[in-house]
Amino acid sequence: MTDPRFNNPLSGHYWQVSDVANQSLVRSRSLWDGTLALPVRGGGGEVRKIEELRGPGGELTIAVERTITDADGRSFRATVAEDHHSVEVSVDEYVRDLVPALIVLAAGLMAAFFIQITVGLAPLENLRIAVRNVIAQRTARLDVAAPSEVQPLADEINRLLDAQEKALARARGRAADLAHGLKTPLQVLSADIRALRKKGETELADEIEKSAGAIRRHVERELARARLAPGVSGKASCRVREAAAGVVAVIKRTPGGKQLAFVIDVDNDFMAPVDEGDLSEILGNLVENAARFAKSSVQVSAFATVGEVSIAVADDGPGIPDANRETALSRGVQLDSKGGSSGLGLAIVSDIVEAYGGRLTMANADPGLVVTIALPRHGGTHAKPGK
């Protein structure tokens, strides 16, 4: 009651005490000639109540009312009120001080979360890069130093890769056994075909020869797939000219190859990121197809860019119509059913190139057809830009 604000008229701070029985009233000077309009109380015996009242000027106030009973049993209603505006000012000041602190706290927490996630998940990012290198055939195993929480995952993936390599090795062995087992029956069929022709049964001999040829081609295709090393290593490389020269030497001895001129436009030290056996399989099929339809010449060339090594085989034959060429390059098409140059050989080439992450394209030239394979360059493979 000694607070000077209670003595200033209409200061916004008020008190009053009323006798419940006699309705007598004592009030602060700040109320001037007004009063606080208290609600009527029942017999509930409330001791203390907080509520909103109208002050002497009609302003909204926050009031605390308490009922006090003295020793003689008289009851008094003591009320203290404060202008609601002062509360709003206090809240605004509190919020004004609190918001910057919350912003700074939120920024600090976000920075801490970012650092925690970045540092905590860094081993997983390294593991992701290692897996990507395995998929891209740059490495054969996950070579990554991981913390103890992540290392078991890397070890399990490496064990999975080991199991896959062993399974593929067994599959290649079974494919080789299959080829060896079919070699003798195919030779017997060839002898039977010759015997049937000598007897004049050429029609039956042609049918058997066609079936035997289909068996031989399918076996060759599956063997070509099986020969691909598990996860074809990105470190494989070979000299393109040597592989091309070996293929051309074989094709030249065929009846059709004797009539053609072969040009190998590749530098002696030009390297391609592919196993030598796989490149020989690729060039063997491409050069054989080219020689089948060439009029006078077949050319093998190679060139390198920053990210790829390309090898092209061109002939001066009739080429392939655009519609057939697009179909021939479609995934899953049995190319040997179309006859001509779009035979099973291109399907084998497509399988091998795809295993190395490369691509095969065909384009008509003037004259002839150009078949190009593009292989991605990996670390450990060196190819000098050439013609």
> Which amino acid appears at position 125 of this protein?
E
Q: Indicate the DSSP class of residue 5.
A: G
Strand partners, 301: 265, 312
pLDDT of amino acid 109: 95
Q: CA 258 to CA 12: how far, in whole Å?
A: 117
Which of 303, 291, 269, 274 has the alpha carbon at shortest distance from 372?
303
Burial state string for 110-125 with b = 16 or more CB within 10 A and e = fewer than 16: eeeeeeeeeeeeebee
* Strand intervals (E) in the chain: 13-19, 25-27, 48-54, 60-69, 75-83, 238-239, 261-265, 271-272, 297-304, 308-315, 359-364, 369-376
Q: Characterise 170 by phi-psi region: left (phi > 0), alpha (psi -120 to 50), beta (else).
A: alpha
DSSP string of 80-122, one letter each residue: EEEEHHHHHHHHHHHHHHHHHHHHHHHHHHHHHHHHHHHHHHH
pLDDT of amino acid 340: 40
Low-confidence ranges of the chain (pLDDT < 70): 20-22, 24, 41-47, 137, 220-235, 325-345, 378-387
Contacts of 18 (CB under 8 A, 6+ apart): 24, 25, 26, 38, 76, 77, 79
Sign of torsion over alpha carbons 119, 124, 128, 129: positive
The structure tokens listed for 223 are: 């063997």
pLDDT of amino acid 383: 45
Residue 53: CB atoms within 10 A of its CB come to 18
> Which amino acid appears at position 185 of this protein?
P
pLDDT digits (tens, 9 = 90+) for 124-141: 888 888 888 887 767 778
- The kind and range of the H/E element at 22 are none
Q: CA 346 to CA 332: how far, in whole Å?
A: 12
Tell whether pTM > 0.85.
no
Q: CA 80 to CA 63: how far, in whole Å?
A: 6
Through-space distance between the first and last CA atoms of the chain, rounded to whole angstroms: 104
CB 336 within 8 A of CB 347: yes
Burial state string for 175-203 with b = 16 or more CB within 10 A and e = fewer than 16: beeebeeeeeeeeebeeebeebeeeeeee
Q: CA 330 to CA 323: how far, in whole Å?
A: 11
Q: For residue 177, give the 3-state DSSP assignment.
A: helix
Q: CA 13 to CA 24: how far, in whole Å?
A: 21
Q: Characterise 233 by phi-psi region: left (phi > 0), alpha (psi -120 to 50), beta (else).
A: beta
